[in-house]
């Protein structure tokens, strides 16, 4: 919901397929945008998530934050934390990419607050 969001780059470039950065918060399953910015192609596909871990399956190497499934692999870097820190309720910051099907985030870096 971007009805009350700021658009510092204007809205002319907001077309189907445009890459944007949205800052806001999730409320009742809806991302309520405070700010929407157009991304250049250098950042295409990159995702950054912040929030509380809602569920976790360390054996399957995945967890959910803000309703989004995040998966990690041996290639994922843990910044000042480890996979053992993936615990429901902890705050996490995830950097990664969306695969072609867009159904989850493939984490390249994870930081869990201890």
Structure tokens belonging to residue 23: 């800052």
78-92 confidence digits (pLDDT tens): 999 999 999 999 999
More confident residue, 112 or 40: 112
1-59 confidence digits (pLDDT tens): 999 999 998 888 888 877 788 888 877 778 889 999 887 766 556 888 899 999 999 99
Read off the pLDDT band of 62 (50, 70, 90). very high
- Residue labelled with tokens 């509380």: 52
In 3D space, the residue among 89, 85, 88 whose CA is nearest the CA of residue 112 turns out to be 85
| pTM listed for this prediction | 0.69
In 3D space, the residue among 67, 66, 4, 68 whose CA is nearest the CA of residue 35 turns out to be 4
Read off the pLDDT band of 71 (50, 70, 90). very high
Give me the mean pLDDT over the 61-81 stretch.
94
């Amino acid at each position: 919901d971007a009805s009350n969001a700021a658009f510092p780059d204007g809205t002319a470039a907001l077309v189907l397929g445009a890459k944007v950065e949205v800052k806001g918060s999730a409320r009742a399953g809806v991302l309520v945008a405070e700010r929407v910015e157009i991304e250049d192609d250098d950042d295409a596909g990159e995702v950054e998530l912040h929030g509380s871990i809602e569920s976790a399956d360390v054996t399957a190497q995945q967890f959910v934050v803000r309703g989004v499934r995040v998966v990690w692999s041996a290639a994922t870097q843990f910044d000042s934390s480890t996979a053992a820190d993936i615990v429901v309720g902890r705050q996490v910051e995830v950097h990664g990419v969306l695969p072609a099907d867009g159904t989850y985030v493939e984490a390249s870096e994870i930081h869990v607050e201890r």
